[in-house]
């Protein structure tokens, strides 16, 4: 993936080390699959954050208050800033063309545990977006799990993760989250919300490549592999050995690949209307 022309976002809240690394760094998959709550906090990887979030308190920590000195994840932090910056540059004109005012999300990097507008966020929830404060939360250690545990290595796989969460921000700006009732299951609104965010991630990739020539050989395959790795059916088979469609919250691997590819191929957010689609 070519990053040279991507502008790092300034809309950041770097909390790494701010809370002293307290709290357990739970292995991913510790939460139950298939529970409702993704309109409150949308986690990418099929774990319901509301099982993990309490009534978080404390004021957000501003950039620069983290422990000083170089960190092993500094490169991952700067990578994420570039992906978020490119999302800003892509989505601002796309929404403007539709008469929608664009306001950027804030990218928040943290270690293990952090207060959010949606309660206390934990790394075990995976990356997530909180509509209450318009922050994208990411413990950068997740990037390592993405390759090692989920078999989706590479920069474009990581970019897909961030772009998916930014897709939720776009839904928030459009009022999509406010208009949908929350329901789980294979055809429920939770699945439709997540698949639309996958499609929006594809729309970002299409326009980012048009503007900044980001794609190199193998990148698309990395993104598709990441989308496939986080399908509800794949995660449930890994965790419990069988699949329960009524518990789905994010869609199957095939669905996630299909909708991501749809956005990536068309570059048209109007092609991402999962709520009107008869078949997902």
229 contacts: CB under 8 Å, gap ≥ 6: 146, 150, 151, 152, 253
Interval 151-162: pLDDT, tens: 999 999 999 999
Give the pLDDT band of residue 64 (cuts 50, 70, 90).
very low
The model's confidence at residue 115, banded by pLDDT at 50, 70 and 90, is very high
- CB–CB of 166/137 below 8 Å? no
The model's pTM? 0.84
What are the extents of the domains in the chain?
Answer: 12-272
List pLDDT tens digits, range 78-96: 999 999 999 999 999 999 9
- Bigger pLDDT: 152 or 63? 152
218-258: pLDDT as tens digits:
999 999 999 999 999 999 998 899 999 998 889 999 999 99
State the pLDDT at residue 54. Answer: 40
- CA quadruple 210, 215, 218, 223: dihedral positive or negative? negative
Q: What does pLDDT average to over the chain?
A: 84
Q: Residue 63 is encoded by which pair of tokens? A: 């950039």
Q: How far is CA 104 from CA 28, 89, 214, in A?
A: 28, 10, 21
- The whole-number average pLDDT for the span 60-72 is 59
Q: What is the pLDDT of residue 68?
A: 64
pLDDT digits 0-9 by tens, 7-57: 999 999 999 998 644 433 332 222 222 223 333 344 454 444 433 344 333
- Predicted confidence band of residue 184 (pLDDT cuts 50, 70, 90): confident
Residue 106: the pLDDT is 98
Does the pLDDT at position 185 exceed 90?
A: no
């Amino acid at each position: 993936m070519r990053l040279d022309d991507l502008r790092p976002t300034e809309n950041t809240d770097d909390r790494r080390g701010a809370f002293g690394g307290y709290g357990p760094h739970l292995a991913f998959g510790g939460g139950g699959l298939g529970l409702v709550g993704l309109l409150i906090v949308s986690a990418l990887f099929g774990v319901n954050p509301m099982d993990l979030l309490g009534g978080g308190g404390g004021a957000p920590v501003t950039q620069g208050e983290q422990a000083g000195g170089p960190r092993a994840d500094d490169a991952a932090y700067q990578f994420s800033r570039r992906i978020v910056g490119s999302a800003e540059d892509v989505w601002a004109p796309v929404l403007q063309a539709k008469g929608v005012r664009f306001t950027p999300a804030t990218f928040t990097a943290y270690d293990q545990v952090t207060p959010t507008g949606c309660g206390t966020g934990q790394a075990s929830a995976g990356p997530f977006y909180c509509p209450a404060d318009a922050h994208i939360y990411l413990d950068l250690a997740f990037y390592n799990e993405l390759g090692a545990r989920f078999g989706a290595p590479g920069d474009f796989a990581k970019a897909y993760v961030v772009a998916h969460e930014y897709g939720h921000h776009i839904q928030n700006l459009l009022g999509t989250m406010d208009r949908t009732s929350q329901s789980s299951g294979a055809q429920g609104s939770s699945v439709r919300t997540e698949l639309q965010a996958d499609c929006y991630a594809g729309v970002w990739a299409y326009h980012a490549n048009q503007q900044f020539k980001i794609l190199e050989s193998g990148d698309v395959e990395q993104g598709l592999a990441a989308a496939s790795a986080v399908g509800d059916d794949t995660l449930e088979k890994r965790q419990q050995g069988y699949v329960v469609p009524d518990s789905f919250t994010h869609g199957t691997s095939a669905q996630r690949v299909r909708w991501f590819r749809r956005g990536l191929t068309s570059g048209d957010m109007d092609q991402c209307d999962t709520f009107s689609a008869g078949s997902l």
